A = this chain, B = another copy of it.
Amino acid sequence: MADFVRSYMQRTAKSKKLYSRSTKVFPGGISHNIRYYEPYPFFVESAKGKKLTDVDGNSYTDYWMGHWALILGHSPKPVADALLSQAKSGTLYGTVNGPSVELAELIQKLMPRADMMRFSTTGSEATMYAVRLARAKTGRRVIAKAIGGWHGFNTTLMQTVNYPFEFEEGPGLVQDEGQYVESIPFNNLEASLKVLETIRDDLACVIIEPVLGGAGCITPSDGYLQGLQEFCKKNGSLFILDEIVTGFRLSIHGAASIYKLEPDLFTLGKIAGGGLPIGVVCGDKEIMSLADPVSRTGKEARCAIGGGTFSANPLTMAAGLATLNFLRSNPGVYSKINRLGESVRRGLAKIFAESQVPCEVTGTGSIFMPHFGRNEVHDANDVATSNKAALNKYHLSLMAEHEIFFLPGKMGAMSYAHDETDVKKLLAATEKICQSGILK
- What number of A residues sit within 8 Å (CB to CB) of B? 128
Chain A 309-332 interface mask (CB, 8 Å, partner B; 1/0): 111111110010000000000000
Q: Which of B29, B105, B309, B407 lies in contact with A94, CB distance below 8 A?
A: B407
Q: Spot the interface stretch: A40-48, A255-263, A425-433.
A: A40-48
A104–chain B nearest beta-carbon distance, Å: 4
Chain A 82-105 interface mask (CB, 8 Å, partner B; 1/0): 011001111111111110110011
| Residues 414 to 438 of chain A near chain B (Cβ within 8 Å) | none
Q: Which of B23, B55, B155 lies in contact with A155, CB distance below 8 A?
A: B155
Contacts of A48 in B (CB 8 A): 88-90
Q: A28 CA to B303 CA in the complex, in Å? A: 13
Contacts of A300 in B (CB 8 A): 167-168, 170-171
Q: Which of B33, B91, B270 lies in contact with A83, CB distance below 8 A?
A: B91
Q: Which of B25, B69, B310 lies in contact with A276, CB distance below 8 A?
A: B310
Please tell me if the beta carbons of A36 and B294 are within 8 angstroms of each other in the complex. Answer: yes
Contacts of A269 in B (CB 8 A): 309
Q: Spot the interface stretch: A113-121, A189-197, A349-357, A372-380.
A: A113-121
Q: A74 CA to B315 CA in the complex, in Å? A: 13
Q: Spot the interface stretch: A129-137, A217-225, A362-370.
A: A129-137
Q: Spot the interface stretch: A59-67, A246-254, A336-344.
A: A59-67
Q: Which of B180, B292, B302 lies in contact with A177, CB distance below 8 A?
A: B180
Contacts of A22 in B (CB 8 A): 96, 100-101, 104
| Residues 259 to 309 of chain A near chain B (Cβ within 8 Å) | 269-270, 274-277, 288-295, 299-309
- Residue A173 lies at the interface, judged by CB distance under 8 Å to chain B: yes
The 7 closest A-B pairs by CB, nearest first: A153-B306, A32-B307, A136-B172, A47-B90, A66-B92, A25-B104, A136-B171
In the assembled complex, 15 residue pairs joining A and B whose CB atoms fall closer than 8 Å, in A order, are A30-B307, A31-B312, A35-B307, A42-B95, A43-B95, A47-B90, A48-B90, A75-B89, A123-B309, A128-B155, A135-B171, A139-B171, A170-B299, A171-B290, A277-B277
